[in-house]
Each structure stands twice: as C-alpha cells, then as structure tokens.
Amino acid sequence: MTFLIVTCAYVFCHGLIALVVTPAQSIFLPEETVFASLLYLPHGVRVLATWALGWRAIPALVVGASIAEWLFTPTDRFNFLEPVLLESILAGAVSAFLAFELVRLAGFDFYAGRARKLSWKGMITIGAISSVINSLAQTLIFSGLIGLEKLVEVLILYAVGDLVGLVVCMVALMFIFRWSRFYRGVES
C-alpha cells in the first residue's frame, strides 16, 4: 500500500508542476525549463518517502517518476531527453537516500522511528543535501544535452527547485496535519 501511495503522490506532484509551474516558468527560462523547475514538489515526496521508508522508497520513486515522465512530458521533450532519462530518474530516486545515509554516518539519524519526533530542521537539511546531490547528478547526466553556457544555471535551478519543492510539501503537510488534529478535536 505504501508503494502505491508514494507512487501516486509522486505522479500527482509531478503532474501539478508539469501542468501549472512549467508553462509559467517556460515564459522566463525556456531553455532551462527543459531540464529543471524552480518549484519541484516531487523532491518533497522523495525526502518524505525516504524518511518514512528508507531504501524501500526507491522502487516506488522510480516507478512514480517513470509514470510521471511518460504521462506529462511532451513527446518532443521526451525524445530529446530519452537517451539519459532512466539515469536521471534513478539519480533523483536515490538522492534522498544518499543524503539520509551521509547524515546518519555523521551521527544524525533522521529516519522515521529512530528519532524522538520529526525534526523539521533535519528534514530541510536532508532536503538541501539531497538537492545538491540530485542537482550535481542531473547536471552531469544531462551535460551532453545542456549547452556549456547554461550548465551553472541549470545546476542552480535544480538545487533551488528541489529545496523549494520540499519546503512547500512540508508546509502543506504541516497544515494538513494541523487540520486533521483540529478536525478530530471538533468531532470529540
């Protein structure tokens, strides 16, 4: 069941970005938008799914990203990216896991159930680290397709978009949790 939830959450968030954010961003950053988004909600799904499931989140994230690319990427862009798309999907799916493991090796275990409670600052830190990992990997993967003059811009766009996406997801979840606690209190 968690596999399905993570997969659907990823597809939903990616679709929201593809249908709302990408068209708006394309007006201002048309070349860079092919590769990255200034607001990438699926990164929040990556981090939160990995927080809850550890390495077991990776297959659901790969499936979710694959379905999302298939559903929401225009054919011309899909054909352009297709030679390295699987590498890109895999890099994105493992980025949060690598960040959690690096932080765990440094002595801070932020996985669900291992800390006393959810650390929002820890999640932002993990999100930032995984964003850097993902942006470096994606820029390397797409380096043959990105013009040299755009490489740094795309790298920054990946990092910013991932982190902003995580923050938006976490704020949304915070309001959902507060609303559900309030709603449960009203029913009692």
| DSSP tally for the chain: helices H, then strands E | 8, 0
Domain count, the chain: 1
Is the torsion defined by CA of 143, 147, 145, 36 positive or negative? positive
Within 13 Å of residue 37, how many CA atoms lie on the same side as its CB?
22
Question: Quick one: pLDDT at residue 4?
Answer: 94
When comparing pLDDT for 45 and 146, which is higher?
Answer: 45
How far is residue 146 from each of residues 37, 139, 151, measured CA to CA in Å?
15, 8, 6
| Per-residue pLDDT band at 186 (split at 50, 70, 90) | low
Q: Kind and range of the H or E element at 68?
A: helix 57-72
Identify the domain containing residue 6 by its residue range: 2-187
Locate 97 and state its tokens: 């896991």
Residue 170 scores a pLDDT above 90 = no
CA distance 157 to 75: 23
Higher pLDDT, 141 or 29: 141
